[in-house]
Structure 1
Amino acid sequence: MLRFDDLLLFVRAADLGSLSAAARGMDMSPAVASAALKRIEQQLGARLLARSTRSLRLTAEGEGFLVYARAALGQLDEGRRLLARGQDQVSGVLQLSAPSDFGRNLLLPWLDEFQREHPLLTVRLLLGDRIADLFRQPVDVALRYGEPEDSSLVALPIAPDNRRVLCAAPQYLARCGVPCQLEQLAQHNCLLYMLGSRVHDHWRFHDGKRDVSLTVSGDRFSDDADVVRLWAVAGAGIAYKSWLDVAADVQAGRLTVLLPELQGERAPLNLLCAHRAQLSKPVNLLREMLKRRCEHLSGQFSTRFVMSH
């Protein structure tokens, strides 16, 4: 089989009228160049170049073959450019799993914009709060809150400083009062989230000096985090939610953050995948977009609550 470098050397030698000049241009020694030319002539069974100590010229066979050598190199260059253009484009299918609340209320409009920027990209979105089995389910990557329990997964931070906040609708607070101390949550209807059979009714905080916690209760539970948010917006009780999930409701006045002097539990958002090979160009671009958006929301929380205290 003819080698690419051998073909290139032959064409350049023909163009320059010098094998040594072609060798210098390709950063190879005269001996290596001479061996390459000999190799291609042996493979073709024909002499391509007539050489003397001072001159080099194409043989009749060499002139005939030069046309095909140029065409072959041109085709390879065109294939290389086509491949480079394909790598620059963001296309194909992006298969993504995301939490129900984050997915519906933040990710959907962000993905709309992402696809407008990359119209050749197809998105397959699965929403749910259960940890996706990234080795079995047809997804490339998953967005999940918390540290992954499976240490074999690749976890890339999207919002590492995200935390939970206590929040309730103004109409609920007008009806039931505003808790001024953590212990007063025992007298309030707390909206509870459950994952599998586990109910998240033990709420933890940090008061600046130590960790504090209490067990809460309420009249409704859901395994869909967005349902808990909707109950809170409707005035059904107090929720303990990721800031990312309620930021828009707080900014719009639909929810009020309670006891902002307490630091809520960490709820870092990570992008998970089974193998680094799944970090394709679309995935990496999506990751950068999500980091920018989440940093903006986290900055609003810091400005609104942390700096004010």
Structure 2
Amino acid sequence: MLDLNDIAMFVQVVRSGSFAEAARRLGMPPNTVSRRIQQLEAHLGTRLLQRSTRKLTLTSAGHDFHERCAGAVDGLLEAGQELVTGSHEPSGLVRVAAPADFFDFFQMDWVSGFLAAHPRVRLDFVLSDGKADLIAEQIDVAFRGGALRDSGFVGRQILDPRSVGMVASPAYIAAHGSPRTLQDLVDHDCVISAQPGGYATWRLVGPQGEEEVQVSGRFSGNTAQALRRAAVAGLGIALLPPVMARLDVQAGVLVPVLAQYQPKGYGLNVLYPSRRQLPLAVSAFIDLVIEKLNASDAPEVHP
């Protein structure tokens, strides 16, 4: 019969990234932790972790086992915590992986209100446009834009890729006119994330389905904020994440261009490692994001 303590220890090793760190957190010698994991592997008849002098990595079997067990372990720990504290209050650290521009559209006041409502929760944000490794970086929940590809984790779309995408400043439109068709963009200055050759390919969804157009311009940058500021300054037409476009259109500093076209794959997805029993603190934070970004006066979002 499997020892639930060994399973909980395995989950702690994965989250800690090493036997030494797991042992420190559990208050026991590292060789004891290593021996217990070896016993668990022997009982299961498969290797769960690949060990090297530099780091631990999960095997395929270990990844599947962790995915199925982590939520149950969290549920047991949380149940015990609730009995000890006599409450069902969210608590603990929540590590959140989000795009680098997350706080350009997710208001810090919302975070402040959340922490005030849940005084036993701590939030740690890992902001990057790269794809976080949920296991290696000990991420509890990740927010990602675009199509949700099969990653072995649990994911669902929480926002549709609606709203405006192509925008320009009123001054640019007054000086250069507004394009009437997608191909008219070829004759306009566009602010772009340039590929080799100085061009960019914009993929959009319009009345005829998915279409694309190759555009160019005299300003290029590698962040959405740089492109947004260039568009506001009148340097050309930009294809922005819908949240940025919507906020600036509402403020009147940008106007929609070819509003019948929407950027492809700009929705927002939530991703988390375990299928079962999300910790209350993680569930509460996901609920906050969905509530705020789906509110009638809140913008849509793209990581």
TM-score range, shorter chain: 0.5 to 0.7
Report whether the alignment pairs 1:168 with 2:168.
yes
8 Å CA contact 2:102–2:127 kept in 1: the answer is no
SS at match of 2:295: helix
Q: Which residue of 1 aligns with 2:155?
A: 155
Amino acid at match of 2:113: E
Q: Structure 1 residues 127 and 235 mapped into 2: Cα distance closer, same or farther (>3 Å)?
A: farther
Q: Structure 1 residues 251 and 80 mapped into 2: Cα distance closer, same or farther (>3 Å)?
A: closer
Amino acid at match of 2:153: L
Q: Structure 2: how far apart are the matches of 1:80 and 1:141?
A: 22
Q: Structure 2: how far apart are the matches of 1:80 and 1:138?
A: 23
Report whether the alignment pairs 1:230 with 2:223.
no
Counterparts of 1:288-307 in structure 2, within 5 Å, are: 288-296=287-295
Q: Structure 1: how far apart are the matches of 2:249 and 2:191?
A: 17
Q: Structure 1 residues 157 and 149 mapped into 2: Cα distance closer, same or farther (>3 Å)?
A: closer
Report whether the alignment pairs 1:185 with 2:189.
no
Q: Structure 2: how far apart are the matches of 1:155 and 1:247?
A: 26
Counterparts of 1:1-309 in structure 2, within 5 Å, are: 81-85=83-87, 88-162=88-162, 165-193=165-193, 201-276=200-275, 279-296=278-295
Alignment deviations for residues 54-104 of structure 1 (CA, whole Å, 9 cap, x no partner): xxxxxxxxxxxxxxxxxxxxxxxx99753441xx22222221121122333
Question: How far is 1:298 from its partner?
Answer: 8.8
Q: Structure 2: how far apart are the matches of 1:300 and 1:79?
A: 37
Question: How far is 1:205 from its partner?
Answer: 2.6
Q: Structure 2: how far apart are the matches of 1:248 and 1:118?
A: 29
Q: Structure 1, unaligned stretches of length 5 or more? A: 1-77, 302-309
Question: How far is 1:155 from its partner?
Answer: 0.9
Alignment deviations for residues 99-137 of structure 1 (CA, whole Å, 9 cap, x no partner): 122333325343223223223322111222111121212
Provide the TM-score with structure 1 as the length reference: 0.62
Amino acid at match of 2:170: P
Q: Which has the higher contact order (CA 8 A, sep 6+)?
A: 2
Q: CA RMSD in A?
A: 3.2
Q: Structure 2: how far apart are the matches of 1:204 and 1:79?
A: 49
SS at match of 1:131: coil
Question: How far is 1:269 from its partner?
Answer: 0.2
SS at match of 1:185: helix
> Which of 1 and 2 has greater Rg?
1
Q: Structure 1: how far apart are the matches of 2:277 and 2:217?
A: 42
Q: Structure 2: how far apart are the matches of 1:214 and 1:79?
A: 56
Amino acid at match of 1:285: A
Q: Runs ≥4 in structure 1, deviation > 6 angstroms? A: 298-301
Provide the TM-score with structure 2 as the length reference: 0.63
Q: Structure 1 residues 117 and 193 mapped into 2: Cα distance closer, same or farther (>3 Å)?
A: farther
Q: Which moved more, 1:137-146 or 1:159-168?
A: 159-168
Q: Structure 1: how far apart are the matches of 2:258 and 2:192?
A: 18
SS at match of 2:265: coil
- Report the structure, 1 or 2, having the larger helix content: 1
Amino acid at match of 2:84: L
